Amino acid sequence: MSNLTFAVELLAFGLGIAFLVWAYRNEGVGVRLSKVVGYIIAIAAVLSIVCTSVHSVRYGKGYFSSQSTPPHLIMKKQMITQKYPTMLRHIQRGN
């Protein structure tokens, strides 16, 4: 999944650079807006690339057990099942 995300982020970075190249080669209406949009897209793409890369490396080294369920939600479910065991049975049965 991170490979696909990385590819989309690279496309976004390329789009931001394309906006900037167009803005610096032209004059007139829309150049200022194109510069602003280009910088925003390029900076956001770089930050996303860094974040995705860091999390992919950490996941690959085994720092995370899975990418789906955060630990605090698992602990919260355990606390609820210990405190209200009968309520959990009714929820699981659909009553």
| pTM attached to this predicted model | 0.62
**Cα(56)–Cα(47) distance, rounded to whole angstroms?**
14
DSSP-based three-state secondary structure for 72: helix
Q: What's the chain's length in residues?
A: 95
What does the domain layout of the chain look like in residue ranges?
1-64, 66-95
Maximum CA extent, the chain: 71
Most confident of 12-21, 64-73, 76-85: 12-21
Task: Provide the pLDDT confidence category of residue 94 given band limits of 50, 70 and 90.
Answer: low
List C-alpha distances in Å: 72 to 42, 57, 69, 76, 79: 34, 22, 8, 6, 11
Q: What is the pLDDT of residues 5-35, one digit of tens each?
A: 999 999 999 999 999 999 999 998 889 999 9
- Answer positive or negative: Cα dihedral of 44, 45, 51, 52: positive
